Amino acid sequence: MKQTVLTGIKCTGTPHVGNYLGAIAPAIARADMADASSYFFLADYHALNQIKDARELQQSVREIACTFLACGLDPKRTVFYRQSDVPEVFELSTILGNMTPKGLMNRAHSYKAAVQKNTDAGRDVDDDVNIGLYTYPILMAADILIMGTNFVPVGQDQKQHIEMTADIAKSFNAVFGNTFTIPKEIIREDVAIIPGLDGRKMSKSYNNTIPLFCSSAELLKLIKRIETDSSAPTDPKPTDHMIFQLYKHFAGTEMNNKIGWGDAKQKLFDTMDKFITPMRDKYNHLMANYHEVEKILDDGAARARVVARDMIDRVRQCLK
């Protein structure tokens, strides 16, 4: 029996090089698994926990949709859709919410982190905590269960949500019969930690990122900003430095570390720009012709809803 793999992409912010190497490229590679039915969705309603501006949300959805397509996601092999275009997800979320113990949500890492942050700051424990954040694991469970998902590729920080989804599914099955597939997580043990311009992990919160599809001129400018030491050109350089790490990721081989920093930066730029340019060109085309992307997402939603409607019909039947 063909297995089902589902991946959700939260629509927040502009993708950067760290996102590409650590998440986007591996996710697309997994989507190409020949023995699996693959679903990819843009988690636009999940993003409402962080984004409260409609234009910002729309722009983020566009950028991320175009990024995945430009980087090689094949909508003929993978069902690619917007979460908000599959209303059955939200009906299922309501049903599951009525059957999920509050105590389970109290244990969610994201909620506990928000409570701890407020406690440390001397604020009310639920200050600035909305219900969307609190019930995030229930909506995520609906995303997963509605497609009969077998496996969900996630980072270690999302493992708890898959375990909660399995708990919710098992509880429903115990009461209403074998309805949901019990999903399992796929954790990548070799997740790449990509350093940023200042040597720390590349992150928007550190303002040290390289936008994936910035222009060639901007890419060169940012690479020249990478912090280096004062060692002589002939001195061996640390191979764990960002320049050598990025070069290895994009070139597939290691750079000789007995090289001047200026030459190393130029070599890194030449390699990255050559690798990224075809994707950048496709990205810019898709952003300028977004109707092409809309058609792909609409087609994906139609395919996804066939599966979702079948599942919601089964759930409704259980409740009659």
Residue 133 tokens read as 């954040």
Q: Which residues of the chain have pLDDT under 70?
A: 1, 33-35, 188-192
For position 23, what pLDDT does the model report?
83
At the top level of CATH, which class does the domain 3-192+290-319 belong to?
alpha beta
pLDDT at 189: 65
Backbone angles phi, psi at 176, to 5 degrees: -110, 5
Residue 53: what pLDDT?
92
Domain extents for the chain?
Answer: 3-192+290-319, 204-284
The CB-based long-range contact list for 288-296 (8 Å cut-off, 24+ gap) reads 290/62, 290/66, 293/62, 293/65, 293/66, 293/69, 296/69, 296/75, 296/80
What the block records as the tokens of 162 is: 């898959």
Which amino acid type is present at position 188? R
- In whole angstroms, give the CA distance from residue 186 to residue 82: 22
Instruction: Quickly count helices (H) and strands (E) in the chain.
Output: 13, 5
* pLDDT at residue number 33: 63
Name the CATH code of domain 204-284 (choices 3.40.190.10, 3.90.76.10, 3.10.20.90, 1.10.240.10): 1.10.240.10
By CB neighbour count within 10 A (0-12 exposed, 13-18 middle, 19+ buried), where does 96 fall?
Answer: buried
For the record, the structure tokens of 204 come out as 């928007």
State CA 197 to chain mean position distance. 22
**Mean per-residue pLDDT over the chain, rounded:** 92
Question: Which pLDDT score, from 0 to 100, does residue 266 have?
Answer: 97
Return the structure tokens found at 291: 């109707």
| pTM (global) more than 0.85 | yes
| pLDDT digits 0-9 by tens, 289-303 | 999 999 999 999 999
pLDDT at 318: 93
CA distance 2 to 299: 22
pLDDT for residue 192: 64
Dihedral in degrees, nearest 10, Cα atoms 291, 293, 297, 303: 100
> Beta-strand (E) ranges in the chain?
3-10, 36-43, 78-82, 151-154, 184-187
Q: What is the pLDDT of residue 22?
A: 83
